[in-house]
């Protein structure tokens, strides 16, 4: 249809992928850090499909023209990718899952952390002086057909290997609830605040001009089990590995989300998860 942007492709040519090794492989999927512009462009195309096509984000003119989710942070971040190499012999591979990773040493040399536009990171940065380098996780998405345990496990194995490689002390980032009405998510936000609030040394706070209280319902006025079940899968996954939340939500109208700040001290991540993702090998794992 005339006037609509041509969406970029999530495909990556096999000869491009051959330029760098994967970190882990399971069947026809592998997880790796992007080393080429082609791989990053494919990840941006996947992000566009999910954030703008599925979740209702509002594109900037630049994003609309490109048909890819792009911003200035892409050039300084590492991009973790899950690649589906497709059926044998068809010659096509696609990015089906991605995370954007920003280490503290890199952020300090450039424009700082992406999350600093939503949260005051001062307590967390102060804690990193004795507790290890920070790693910001962002722009996470998985293509609908690949939202299964295999893809998620590969992403987590890739993150676990990255943590060990770079000596990360804390992981953090913003996780999202769909839509921009915080009252719709009153029970979930209250559950997170009452049960998973980070201690003060790790408690980032939403910037004053955008601060949305999370303790919207009093304890006992909602069912915490129902609220926990209503959380998005990504937030549930973070909580399973010991995540805590900051103080205050942030309404991101461009991305059509209510954001919460999530921090995960690496040394406190449930040991069985680190053992599983750093050391565990499935029968189909070929690396």
Q: What beta strand segments (E) does 114-190 contain? A: 119-120, 133-142, 168-178
The answer to whether residue 15 sits within a structural domain is yes
The answer to whether residue 105 sits within a structural domain is no
Provide the pLDDT for residue 270.
52
Residues 157 and 194 in one domain: no
Provide the pLDDT for residue 130.
85
Pair 24, 157: CB distance under 8 Å: yes
The answer to whether residue 286 sits within a structural domain is no
Residues 145 and 270 in one domain: no
Residues 9 and 35 in one domain: yes
Provide the pLDDT for residue 3.
42
In three-state secondary structure terms, 197 is strand
The answer to whether residue 231 sits within a structural domain is yes
Tens of pLDDT along the chain (287 residues) come to 334 445 679 999 988 998 889 999 999 999 999 999 999 999 999 999 999 999 999 999 999 999 999 999 999 999 999 999 985 445 679 999 999 999 999 999 999 999 999 999 999 999 988 878 999 999 999 999 999 988 988 998 999 899 989 989 999 999 999 999 999 999 999 999 999 999 999 999 999 999 999 999 999 999 999 999 999 988 998 998 889 999 999 999 999 999 999 999 888 775 556 555 544 433 333 34
Provide the pLDDT for residue 1.
34
Residues 193 and 272 in one domain: yes
Pair 126, 201: CB distance under 8 Å: yes
Pair 71, 51: CB distance under 8 Å: no
The answer to whether residue 235 sits within a structural domain is yes
Residues 176 and 261 in one domain: yes
Residues 177 and 127 in one domain: yes
Provide the pLDDT for residue 219.
96
pTM reported for the whole predicted model:
0.90
Residue 225's domain spans which residues?
A: 113-132+170-279
Residues 126 and 261 in one domain: yes
Residues 127 and 160 in one domain: no
Residues 146 and 215 in one domain: no
The answer to whether residue 228 sits within a structural domain is yes
Residues 58 and 127 in one domain: no
DSSP 8-state assignment for residue 50: I
Number of domains in the chain: 2
Residues 15 and 78 in one domain: yes
The answer to whether residue 160 sits within a structural domain is yes
Pair 237, 269: CB distance under 8 Å: no
Provide the pLDDT for residue 91.
66
The answer to whether residue 107 sits within a structural domain is no
Residues 96 and 177 in one domain: no
Provide the pLDDT for residue 52.
95
Q: What beta strand segments (E) does 74-230 contain? A: 78-84, 93-103, 119-120, 133-142, 168-178, 205-206
């Amino acid at each position: 249809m005339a006037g609509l942007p041509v969406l970029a492709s999530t495909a990556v040519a096999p000869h491009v992928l051959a330029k760098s090794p994967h970190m882990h492989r399971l069947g026809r999927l592998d997880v790796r850090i992007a080393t080429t512009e082609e791989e990053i462009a494919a990840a941006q195309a996947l992000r566009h499909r999910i954030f703008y096509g599925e979740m209702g984000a509002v594109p900037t003119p630049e994003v609309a023209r490109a048909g890819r989710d792009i911003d200035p942070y892409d050039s300084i971040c590492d991009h973790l990718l899950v690649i589906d190499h497709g059926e044998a012999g068809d010659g096509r591979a696609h990015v089906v899952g991605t995370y954007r990773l920003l280490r503290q040493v890199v952020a300090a040399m450039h424009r700082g952390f992406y999350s600093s536009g939503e949260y005051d990171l001062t307590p967390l940065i102060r804690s990193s002086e004795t507790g290890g380098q920070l790693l910001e996780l962002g722009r996470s998405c998985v293509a609908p057909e690949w939202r299964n345990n295999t893809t998620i496990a590969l992403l987590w194995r890739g993150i676990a290997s990255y943590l060990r490689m770079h000596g990360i002390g804390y992981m953090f980032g913003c996780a999202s609830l769909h839509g921009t009405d915080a009252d719709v998510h009153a029970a979930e936000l209250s559950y997170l605040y009452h049960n998973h609030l980070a201690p003060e040394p790790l408690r980032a706070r939403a910037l004053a001009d955008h601060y949305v209280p999370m303790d919207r319902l009093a304890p006992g006025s909602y069912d915490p089990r129902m609220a926990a079940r209503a959380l998005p899968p990504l937030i549930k996954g973070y909580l399973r590995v010991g995540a805590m939340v900051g103080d205050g939500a942030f309404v991101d109208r461009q991305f059509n989300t209510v954001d919460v700040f999530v921090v995960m001290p690496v040394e406190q991540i449930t040991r069985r998860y680190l053992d599983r993702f750093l050391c565990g090998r499935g029968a189909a794992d070929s690396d």
